[in-house]
Structure 1
Amino acid sequence: MTSFSSLAIDHCRQALEAALNAAEQQFVQVDRQALTIHRKRGGESEASQVVTDLDIAIEKSIYQALQPVSDELSLAWLGEESSDSLEDESHHSRLTASAFWCVDPLDGTLSFIEDGQGYSVAIALVAQDGTPLLGGVLHPPSGQRWLSWRLSAPTPAVTVKETLTFFTDTGFFKQPAFAPFMQQLTGFARQLGYSNVQMVSDRGAVMNAVGVLQSSHAFYLKLPKANRGGGALWDFAASAGLFAATGKPCSDAFGRPLPLNSAESLYLNRTGVVFASDPALHSALLEFIAPWLSV
């Protein structure tokens, strides 16, 4: 993993907070009624294809806030709304720089458009080897922030196993695996000692992971699939940084570290993702989903 001095990391932390401040200001200034909704290249779901003027404005403000430290430390940049301009993902500067900023300016754009609460801003600093060095998430509706360097491993506590919460994206509803997965999930939960299963599907990828982070009995997963989509680096990098800081497990669907700087693709459709509230649940989930890992 790339080694940064404590001073360099401190500069990056300060820049990341400044970038979240700049992003938050964009929400203060926005006129929802005047926003234009565009379509972009993405996955199969509507949520992955919609983009607004606000997405673009936030990304620009984040880029400007991070540019001084990026120039100072020769950091690369990967932003969701500027990624469509990449002609060759396999030759991106993130692959050769010591680290890069990975930015989702408005994760859960569809939730924002529909006046929901499941959207956020996510910024990560990722090392060349794919290790998340820093992660920061802003939830504009509440003003709450999660910063990896201000988090720590939770104190183990005995909690009642009653409801297992499954965070998912609405795109999963259209996959062939959805029906059999849900049919078997209740039995899986009961084997682990839970009496109920609750599904939450009104959030973007980042707030799904944050939901797991804040819970003692929850998981968020995306099964591998052949078609492009399944979330991109910017959907999971900041969350991976938060999970690393707390010691909670996240991996691809095969139990490997998330490929957060792969030269093959910006998307994780062939690997899937699994975020879990504790190691035992994570291990059980990997075994449970094994029959669906045919991609």
Structure 2
Amino acid sequence: MNEQRLEVLCEIAIEAAIQAGDMIEEYSERDIAVKNKDCGSSRASQIVTEVDLMSQEIILKLIHPTCEKYDLGLLTEESDDDLSRFQKDYFWCIDPLDGTLPFAEKRPGYAVSIALVSREGRACLGVVYDPRTKTLYHAIKNLGAFRNKKIWDWKPIFDGSYELIDRGGAVMNACWVLEEAPACFVKRPKITEGGGCLWDYAATSCLFEEIGAVVSDSHGNTLNLNNKETVFMNRVGVLYASHREILGIVS
């Protein structure tokens, strides 16, 4: 996947994320029916709203044509895994509304997340849109990280203290680690299914790698974003940190 094609695909993902996010925000103060789904062991992973599905529909209208044109697979939270991620060299990894629980509770912590991931499990582009603040984050492998389409000049100083962030969905928690650095966001390994899914971490992993922050599993290994055994991350855990010095404190 060359850089020119990645830039084209990133622009499509940005447009999809903004369209979906602006629709989400239109519904943010309305009373929304919340349903349960069979996914994970936590309340946050088990709820879904009509807005999740509406967001996915908006995104797929723009993303689906690229699957045929560029021979891409697709993995998205609110649809069954068609396993095309194991058949194609690259696949879209989409969370149409990460942080459904804070969205339903009308508080910050939700976002749209779209990534392109290689069959080997590495994100090569990531787009996150926070509809509440209209903040756009995106990154392209080897081309850098951006905030509201401007190169993100991110150089926080570690002073020995840090904030442990866990107040929203996984996507915004990761973004807040960067915004509120020094900070970290941790999901420990656990036996029960959960700990977030591939789509919760794909876009922000690219953002962290390009900006020079730390993202790994709980053992310090590169995140595998195309696990053949499960879409859940509970077996290995996840760690995001603004500074490498934090790792020795939280690990």
Per the normalisation by structure 1, the TM-score is 0.77
Task: Name structure 1 gaps, 5 residues minimum.
Answer: 169-201, 290-295
CA deviations 1:101-126 (Å, max 9, x no partner) are 11111111110111101111111111
How far does residue 28 in structure 1 lie from its aligned partner after superposition? 5.1
Q: Distance in 2 between matches of 1:46 and 1:53?
A: 17
Mapping 1:149-168, distance limit 5 Å: 149=140, 150-151=145-146, 154=153, 156=155, 158=157, 160-161=159-160, 163-168=161-166
Partner of 1:36: 33
Q: Distance in 1 between matches of 2:5 and 2:66?
A: 9
User: Contact conserved, 1:76 with 1:101, CA < 8 A, in 2?
Assistant: yes
Per the normalisation by structure 2, the TM-score is 0.90
How far does residue 9 in structure 1 lie from its aligned partner after superposition? 1.1
Partner of 1:244: 209
User: Residue 260 in 1 paired to residue 251 in 2?
Assistant: no
Distance 1:204 1:156, change over 3 A: closer
Any idea what SS the aligned residue of 2:177 has? helix
Q: Distance in 1 between matches of 2:179 and 2:33?
A: 34
Partner of 2:75: 78
Any idea what SS the aligned residue of 2:4 has? helix
How far does residue 155 in structure 1 lie from its aligned partner after superposition? 5.7
Q: Distance in 2 between matches of 1:57 and 1:223?
A: 32
Of the three residues 156, 171, 184, the one matched with 1:219 is: 184
Q: Distance in 2 between matches of 1:140 and 1:156?
A: 25
Q: Distance in 2 between matches of 1:236 and 1:99?
A: 16
Distance 1:43 1:145, change over 3 A: same
Higher Rg? 1
Any idea what SS the aligned residue of 1:61 has? helix
Q: Percent identity?
A: 33
Q: Distance in 2 between matches of 1:103 and 1:126?
A: 10
Of residues 63-72 and 146-155 in structure 1, the stretch that sits farther from structure 2 once superposed is 146-155
Partner of 1:172: none
Of the three residues 49, 70, 77, the one matched with 2:46 is: 49
How far does residue 244 in structure 1 lie from its aligned partner after superposition? 1.2
Q: Distance in 2 between matches of 1:46 and 1:72?
A: 38
User: Residue 21 in 1 paired to residue 21 in 2?
Assistant: no
Of the three residues 94, 99, 102, the one matched with 1:108 is: 99
Q: CA RMSD in A?
A: 1.9
User: Contact conserved, 1:153 with 1:247, CA < 8 A, in 2?
Assistant: no
How far does residue 25 in structure 1 lie from its aligned partner after superposition? 3.6
Q: Distance in 2 between matches of 1:205 and 1:243?
A: 13
Q: Distance in 1 between matches of 2:225 and 2:156?
A: 31
Counterpart amino acid of residue 181 in structure 2:
S
Distance 1:41 1:5, change over 3 A: same
Q: Distance in 2 between matches of 1:211 and 1:233?
A: 19
Counterpart amino acid of residue 7 in structure 1:
Q
